[in-house]
Amino acid sequence: MFTKIAPKRFLFSLFLISAFIGITLLNLNEADKLFAEIQKYISDSLGWLIILLANGFLVFVIYLAFGKHQNLVLGGPDAKPEFSNINWVAMLFSAGLGVGLLFYGVAEPVMHFSSDALHAEGASFSDKANRSMNLAYLHWGFHGWAIYGIVGLCFAYFTYNKNLPFRVSSFFSGPLTKNIWGRVSLDVIAIIATIFGIATSLGLGANQINSGLGYMEVLEENFMSTVGIVIVITLMGLISVVLGLKVGIKILSQMNIILCIIFLSFIFFTGPTSFILDGLLQNIGSYIQNLLSLSTNTQGYLDSSWQNGWTLYYYSWWFAWSPFVGLFIARISYGRSIKEFLIGVVLIPSSIVFLWMGVFGNAALHQEFIEPNSLSTAINNNIAVSLFVFLEQFPFSQFIMGLAIVIILTFFVTSSDSGALVTSMLTAAKKENTKDEPPMILRVIWAISLGVIAIVLLAGGGIGALQTSVIVTGVPFAILVSFAARSLLKNLNQ
């Protein structure tokens, strides 16, 4: 059994994660303050670099999708896709977004709308609402999916076309990768980023489920309830990951996308439909028109606290998730051309996000328009309860809140099982690191580890600790990805 594990990668990663858990648990009283200080320092010092890299990857995606390599097939000219287009998109959407879209879909536009740091004094409702939606699109749109696309393409190309294992170290050549510890270090950075990126989503999801059940008076809202939810969902994710990619994860992704369509349709048709359509059209046009200025704004001449807590946090989150989502995307994208891969990974999910945020965000802003400060006050007091305060204004509110919790659960489980699967692939022995399922022991260990880390982060500082873990692990991997992109281009041009 243990011959199927890459011992250095597995033990080194487990040691670092265990050390973090131990130090945090021994210093719970100081952890919250320390996490906040670390996040501020990194954001203030390297914010410009994070924004520059995110924009650079989007430009690189456009170049590759329409350049001379666009028709190169991942796996060779005779390779055929393993999954249908519908199943492929469903798994992309479920794995690539997780619970974040439900957590922030209502809260983010309203919080931007009510933020004094973003709007000139006396700004109209229309200007504030449109700017708020533009920022939500910036955080969830093309840039994040471009990051996923580049990392995913690196995994797919070097594995399927160069016959190398599913590892970040496979992206590179040179003196560093000739040494075993050099290769291990590169892979461990990816493993740590993956673990903490997914644990952040699990923590957010557990908070939101607990808040929703508390709001519905089903379960008392407290830390122990959140811990119980993390444990239950971790066990569900464990079952799914044991069933494997073609059974557990595929079926959950299909169910997830169907429930999301039902949920979205309900809000659209029972909400302010005309207001949503007007806003959606205006938001997309304004976002595209102002994309350059939005995406390069560093708030260099202003207090950067808003930027640190939103744009830099999001981009770091995308980077932290990118080894996990990138490898997962690569695993399900055998037989697709570079153009098909990048358009599928960047354009289709971004369009779905724009639709989702446009419907939920504009419906939430309409509530603010009808009854000013009602929704924004509740959200600023407790962001985790935002979705349920919003849904209370709709018909059949208890039913639709229950549906929302089920969707959060499915997102939760697909993130957990996909993350465990990917981390298992990164720590499997070379001969096991293929298109086949990784060893069961690794899938079990990493599925449990994700739940444990989420609980520790929540105990050590709540949502602030989750954000800090993403930035601390996402920034190093962002720098690593820039070198990986250079290596990919060099190999494509050979």
Q: What is the pTM of this model?
A: 0.87
- Confirm if 437 and 248 have CB atoms less than 8 A apart: no
| Dihedral Cα 445, 447, 452, 457, nearest 10 deg | 130
| Per-residue confidence band for 287, with pLDDT thresholds at 50, 70 and 90 | very high
User: Using only C-alpha atoms, what is the Rg of the chain?
Assistant: 21
Straight-line distance from the first to the last Cα atom of the chain, in angstroms, rounded to the nearest whole number = 39
- Concatenate the DSSP letters of all residues of 194-215 into one string: HHHHHHHHHHHHHHHHHHHHHH
Rounded to whole angstroms, how far apart are CA atoms 351 and 161? 29
Note the pLDDT of residue 464: 64
Average pLDDT for residues 225-232, to the nearest whole number? 82
Token pair for 321 = 């998730």
Q: What is the signed CA dihedral for 348, 351, 356, 362, rounded to 10 degrees?
A: 180
**How far is residue 182's CA from residue 89's CA, in Å, rounded to a whole number?**
35
Calculate mean pLDDT across residues 162-170: 86
Beta-bridge partners for 428:
5
Which of 340, 304, 227 is closest to 332 using CA atoms?
340
> In sequence order, which residues have a C-beta less than 8 Å from that of residue 110 and are 6 or more positions away?
132, 361, 364, 365, 368, 375, 376, 379, 386
Q: What is the pLDDT of residues 306-364, one digit of tens each?
A: 777 788 888 887 888 888 788 888 888 999 999 999 998 998 889 988 999 999 999 99
Across residues 203-216, what is the average pLDDT? Answer: 78
The angle formed by the CA atoms of residues 171, 176 and 178, to the nearest 5 degrees, is 85
pLDDT in tens, 66-115: 999 999 999 988 888 888 888 787 777 766 666 677 778 898 999 999 88
Q: How far apart are CA 457 and CA 199, in angstroms?
A: 8
For 326, phi and psi rounded to 5 degrees?
Answer: -60, -45
Q: Residue for token digits 């533009």?
A: 134
Domain 2-24+53-492 CATH (choose: 2.40.50, 1.10.150, 3.30.70, 1.20.1740): 1.20.1740
Angle at alpha carbon of residue 339, lines to 335 and 342, rounded to 5°: 90
Write down the mean pLDDT value for the chain: 82
- Highest-confidence range of 240-249, 381-390, 485-494, by mean pLDDT? 485-494
Indicate left, alpha or beta for 234 from its phi (over 0: left) and psi (-120 to 50: alpha). Answer: alpha
188, two tokens: 């461990």
Residue pointed to by tokens 């802003």? 365
**Token pair 């039913």 in the structure block, residue:** 399
**Helix extents (H) in 179-272:** 180-215, 223-243, 250-270
> Alpha-carbon torsion 178, 181, 182, 186, what sign?
positive
Best CA proximity match to 322, nearest among 165, 95, 101, 124: 95
